[in-house]
Amino acid sequence: MGGASLGAAEQIPDYLIRPTPSDYYYGTLEYEEETDSWVVRGDPAVCQMAKRLFPGAEGRGAGIARFKSNKRTNGDLNWLMMRYPLEVMNADKWEADYQSAVKHVIKRNQIRRAPSKLEPSSLVFNGRLSGFQQEGVAYLNNNAPTLLADDMGLGKTVQALGWIATINRFPGLIVVPTSVRVQWASQIRKFIVPPPPTEGQIEYPPDTSKMVHIIKGLKPYELPEASFYIIHYSLLRGWKQYLPSFGFEFVVFDEIQELRHDGTDKYAAASQLGQSTENVIGLSGTPIYNYGDEIRNVMNIIDYQCLGDKESFAREWCGGGKIVQKPALLYEYLKREGLMLRRTKDDVLHELPAKRRIVQDIDSDHSVFSENMKTVLKLIGQHDTSADHFERGRLKREIGQEVRRATGVAKAPYVAEFVKMLLEAGEAVVLYGYHHDVYEVWREQLKKYDPVFVTGQESSAQKEVAKDAFIKGKTKLIVISLRAAAGIDGLQHRASVVVNGELDWSPGVHSQCEDRLHRIGQKAQVIIYYLVCSQGSDEQMMEALGLKTSQFVGIMGGAEETEEDRELSQIEVGKHLDKIMEQYRSRVSA
């Protein structure tokens, strides 16, 4: 049977040609609004074939098969009716769904041959996307539910937000690992323009407090009004009876490899969410298509049974085991069907800036911070009662050092968790810190990765051994002191990811640390993470340097620290310490 045309531009695939009228119908096809499904009721032959061909078809007992309505399933139903004609009971609804399926397939094939670009409206999206990111938004807009599996550092989050701005329907849900909840909230506020006040409201500008709500706790509660809701994976099981029926217009699963294992309450809750709306996307820089049951589990959340049931997938793709026999073939299938888009840094490097800085908000341990701050409160008391000008200056510097140390120790476990995520994704990481008790936390929590250390306490020979172990691939993690990076060369041949687990007063120091990787010989875009927490010295240090979080990216220069830099930074350090001492002075007398 030959293809038919939709207009003059594109040919409809054979399986989407309309079935011809028949003198016999094997049953009926009826839309079930409460489940958003198409239901086949008919002869055993058609129901048996439907369930055999489409493992996602539900319907216990004989004579019934239920298909969740979406643009992929509806195309398959059309194909089924070419062989087993069915009497359509909701003709207008079926016509709309049929046209949606045809439009999806035609656009999918066009994008595969020549990627199109889509720039979100500036009325909704506050940012500019690069060319390949515009292609990503166009892909998501046509193919959702789908998986965006770009390399780390190519901006999956901003592409997802561009897609959300394009569909421009709210509210939606973002499911994330614990470590990136705050970062997602800040990115939403940065890139999404708050909706204007509705008729009858008088506040302007719009109330940004209603933009994002981070869901907390396992016990459901009445959610406040918001455009975006953020929940971390470990809470899904507590909300599985509540969230799927909330009416989300979109669901984003960030780092969706968190769901690579099925059979848990978390997975079951995510599966229900994935079926609650057609606008579902997964984000992961580490697509898993060598271990069949894992990629099948991930894709099953995004588009239920798109790779068949577990048994049939293992049989046909994995030879009855867990390893995909032809991973390249599976990758091509996912790409061809519009189920996955993956670009590597090499694919789009010509469009990328040479260096990219990312400020990542993370949590910290309040109790640990408070315990360490007891020393600071005592020092403030000594400072305020001292009559010696030089002694007051010494105490002031010591106060600054102790606040900085308390901050580093309090956030150290969360820095380690963030680094673990990068290491598990296969990245080699250069981690910068400053305090030795922070290093000890990292050493313990990251010990399974066999990290090496260059902290300033090692001999020259030990420093070289550590550097060589990292460069030669014996470990994926090297921890370096912010003040010990000078002269270390060769790291650019091994890694392209920098994590600043602690901050320095001087942007020149950070620039030098960045340039250990951003130098001749580096073949990938260098991604630099600055991990900051809301309590302690981080925000105040950034403010003291004129580097508030919202302005941090792009401000720090690439020049080495000069004598003038050092003098200016000391002036700002003094101002910063005055603020800290004023903040905690009242606690001394308490």
In this predicted model, what pLDDT tens digit does every residue of 194-248 receive, in sequence order? 876 655 544 444 566 789 999 999 999 999 999 999 999 999 999 999 999 999 9
Comparing 23-27, 36-40, 304-308, 348-352, which segment has the lowest mean pLDDT? 348-352
Comparing 397-401, 569-573, 579-583, which segment has the lowest mean pLDDT? 569-573
- In this predicted structure, what is the pLDDT of residue 229? 97
- If asked whether residues 369 and 320 sit together in one domain, one would say no
Q: What pLDDT band is residue 1 in, cutting at 50, 70 and 90?
A: very low
Per-residue pLDDT, averaged over 33-49, amounts to: 89
Indicate if the alpha-carbon torsion angle 388, 393, 397, 400 is positive or negative: positive
- In this predicted structure, what is the pLDDT of residue 321? 83
Query: Which of 292, 316, 348 is the endpoint of a domain?
Result: 348
Q: What is the pLDDT of residues 323-341, one digit of tens each?
A: 777 787 888 889 888 999 9
Q: What pLDDT band is residue 2 in, cutting at 50, 70 and 90?
A: very low
Residue 505, domain member (yes or no): yes
Q: What pLDDT band is residue 385 in, cutting at 50, 70 and 90?
A: confident
- If asked whether residues 540 and 485 sit together in one domain, one would say yes
Per-residue pLDDT, averaged over 404-432, amounts to: 91
Query: Which of 288, 322, 348 is the endpoint of a domain?
Result: 348
- Residues 6+ away with beta carbon under 8 Å from 198: none
**Percent of the chain having pLDDT more than 90?**
41
- If asked whether residues 102 and 122 sit together in one domain, one would say no
- If asked whether residues 302 and 407 sit together in one domain, one would say no
Among 470, 468, 489, which residue's Cα sits nearest to residue 479?
A: 470
- If asked whether residues 378 and 423 sit together in one domain, one would say yes
Asked if the model's pLDDT at residue 389 lies above 70, the reply is yes
Q: What pLDDT band is residue 140 in, cutting at 50, 70 and 90?
A: very high
- If asked whether residues 407 and 297 sit together in one domain, one would say no
- If asked whether residues 397 and 506 sit together in one domain, one would say yes
- If asked whether residues 76 and 217 sit together in one domain, one would say no
Residue 171, domain member (yes or no): yes
Residue 411, domain member (yes or no): yes
Q: Which domain holds residue 158?
A: 115-194+206-348
- If asked whether residues 72 and 142 sit together in one domain, one would say no
Which residues, listed in sequence order, are joined to residue 480 by a DSSP beta bridge? 432, 454
Residue 201, domain member (yes or no): no
Indicate if the alpha-carbon torsion angle 57, 59, 63, 65 is positive or negative: negative
Q: Give the total number of structural domains in the chain.
A: 3
CATH of the domain at 295: 3.40.50.10810
pTM: 0.64
- In this predicted structure, what is the pLDDT of residue 556? 25
Residue 169, domain member (yes or no): yes
Query: Which of 324, 348, 372 is the endpoint of a domain?
Result: 348
**Cβ atoms within 10 Å, residue 30:** 17
Strand order in the sheet with 228-232: 212-214, 228-232, 172-176, 250-254, 280-283, 146-148, 340-341
Q: What pLDDT band is residue 309 in, cutting at 50, 70 and 90?
A: confident
190 to each of 57, 91, 144, 169, 212, how far by Cα in Å?
Answer: 42, 45, 24, 18, 12
- DSSP-derived secondary structure for 450-495: --EEESSSS-HHHHHHHHHHHHTTS-SEEEEETTS-TT--SGGGT-
CATH of the domain at 375: 3.40.50.300
Calculate the average pLDDT of the chain: 82
Per-residue pLDDT, averaged over 32-46, amounts to: 89
- In this predicted structure, what is the pLDDT of residue 26? 93
Residue 199, domain member (yes or no): no
Residue 150, domain member (yes or no): yes
- If asked whether residues 261 and 320 sit together in one domain, one would say yes
- In this predicted structure, what is the pLDDT of residue 91? 92
* Six token digits for residue 446: 């990251």
Q: Kindly tell me the burial class for residue 476, based on how many C-beta atoms sit within 10 Å of its own C-beta (0-12, 13-18, 19 or more).
A: buried
- If asked whether residues 416 and 458 sit together in one domain, one would say yes
Cα(577)–Cα(59) distance, integer angstroms: 68
Among 507, 501, 528, which residue's Cα sits nearest to residue 404?
A: 501
- If asked whether residues 171 and 311 sit together in one domain, one would say yes
Amino acid present at 548:
K
Residue 200, domain member (yes or no): no
Q: Any idea what the Cα angle at residue 185 is, between residues 180 and 186, rounded to 5°?
A: 100
3-class secondary structure for 210-264?
Answer: HCEEECCCCCCCCCCCCCEEEEEHHHHHHHCCCHHHCCCCEEEEECHHHHCCCCC
